[in-house]
Amino acid sequence: MLPKFKTMLGICLAFVLMTSCGGSSKDSTQDSSLTSAEVINKLPRKETPKALTEATNNYVKALRDGQVNMHSIMIVKKGNVLYERYMGEGAPDKPHELWSVSKTFTSIAVGLAINEGYIKLSDKVVSFFPNDLPEKPSKNLKRMTIKDLLTMSCGHDTDPSSDFFWGKSIDTNWVKEFLAYPVDHKPGTYFCYNSMSTYMLSAIVQKVTGQKVVDYLGPRLFTPLGIDMPKWDSSPQDINCGGWGLYLKTEDLAKVGQLLLQKGKWGKNQIIPKKWVKEMSSKQIESRPAAVTPQQVKEWNLNKKNSDWVQGYGYQMWRSRHNSFRADGAYGQGILVLPDKDAVIAVTAKLDDMQKEFNLIWDYILPAL
């Protein structure tokens, strides 16, 4: 794994220690038969094709040989679950900590709030928090927009997360700390992966709608998809963390991936505006791994052939190789959407090398889809 990326995982762990945690264990391929009571809340199942059975057997062997600690994988093609497996701490009925996969759900909330007229991409961040601004806001801080937060280009030179939490009071006002952090670059020009930018999006949605993001998404996303209202950790100010802290089941992730694959449509209902799905899943800015500098990208020879972190970034979603896009979170959580294959792959895990996780999917599963 990239050296500084491990540091970022440590920072994320600090976030969680200030909010919450969970665990269990078992290894089984789940029976795809459903009771009538379960059907409405589950994706339809189809028999695993022979080629995919062989591919997934080889994939699982590679996981074990490489000591890759996967918890679950679900493969959906043409809207049908073709394969699911739960390993280690994974279980079909147990919500899993999603880390930064949470960011994509915050982005969905922002898109819905824009569609409902609460906010605009061009709105200035400072306009929502006049009482939390520094005494003399910088020119760059005053320029920062909602779009800049979405694209991880708010103008910070480095991720401020560690400065927020090390040695600070548990009651620290996260919005105020964010607004006080130096904005070295003109917003919109410099990519810096930044979980606190997502927290600010969550704070803005809550400010304008009067609801926490999790509650705002309840009737608009979770209920229509048959997803139980989830747990989402909050800040000391009782604002959902936004960039982390959400817990969902593997099938819930697969459903959201399928929704995005279907351009926001679920049955006859347009759950997310089609335009927003296109924007959030398209390249909006050049990207690189968390806590990695442009110079390190060159030194480590990270390029579009060997890295899924330099394919571009949308609105709280990454572009990936093979014309795919994804939500991903620390330790190997992910929703991988593959439009060219009409497929979605949802994964949960506890591992360090996420590029290795994706490489195994590309090497073993992709050819069989």
**CATH number where 171 lies:** 3.40.710.10
Domain assignment of residue 34, yes or no? no
pLDDT of residue 9: 45
pLDDT at 19: 44
152 and 192 Cβ atoms separated by less than 8 Å: yes
CA dihedral 40, 42, 44, 50 (to 10 degrees): -160
| pLDDT of 32 above 50 | no
Closest CA to 252 of 84, 111, 95: 95
Which comes out higher in pLDDT, residue 343 or 34? 343
| Stated pTM of the model | 0.90
The HSE-up count of residue 364 (CA atoms within 13 Å, CB side) is: 19
Helix, strand, or coil (residue 79): coil
DSSP E strands: which ranges in the chain?
A: 70-77, 80-86, 96-97, 247-248, 265-266, 269-270, 318-320, 324-329, 333-338, 343-349
Mean pLDDT of 83-88: 97
- How many Cβ atoms sit within 10 Å of the Cβ of residue 263? 16
- Provide the percentage of residues in the chain whose pLDDT is more than 90: 85
**Mean confidence (pLDDT) of the chain:** 90
Comparing 164 with 216, the larger pLDDT belongs to: 216
Residue 41 lies in a domain: no
Residues with Cβ within 8 Å of 239's Cβ and at least 6 positions away in sequence, in order, are 174, 175, 199, 202, 203, 206, 212
pLDDT in tens, 245-260: 999 999 999 999 999 9
Per-residue pLDDT, 364: 98
Span 182-236, pLDDT tens digits: 999 999 999 999 999 999 999 999 999 999 999 999 999 999 999 999 999 999 9
Whether residue 301 is contained in a domain is answered as: yes
Tell me: pLDDT of 34 over 50: no
pLDDT tens digit sequence for 265-320: 999 999 999 999 999 999 999 999 999 999 999 999 999 999 999 999 999 999 99
First-last CA distance in the chain = 28
Mean pLDDT over 315-329 rounds to 98
Unique residue bearing structure tokens 């500084």: 4
Per-residue confidence (pLDDT) for residue 167, from 0 to 100: 64
Give me the residue label for tokens 């999790």. 214
Assigned domain for 293 exists = yes
Q: Is residue 40 part of a domain?
A: no
Q: For residue 18, is pLDDT > 50?
A: no
Rg (CA), the chain: 20
Q: Is residue 121 part of a domain?
A: yes
Q: Per the domain annotation, does 33 fall within a domain?
A: no
Question: How many separate domains does the chain show?
Answer: 1
Is the pLDDT reported for residue 23 higher than 90? Answer: no
Q: What percent of the chain has pLDDT over 70?
A: 88
Bigger pLDDT: 160 vs 145: 145
Q: Is the dihedral of CA 367, 53, 28, 65 positive or negative?
A: negative
pLDDT value for 11 = 45
Domain for residue 182, yes or no?
yes
User: Which domain covers residue 102, as residue numbers?
Assistant: 3-27+49-87+96-368
Amino acid at 74: M
Average pLDDT over residues 323-329: 98
Question: What whole-number distance in Å separates Cα of residue 78 and Cα of residue 211?
Answer: 35
- Buried b or exposed e, range 192-231, using 16+ CB within 10 angstroms: bbbbbbbbbbbbbbbebbeebbbebbbebbbeebbbeebe
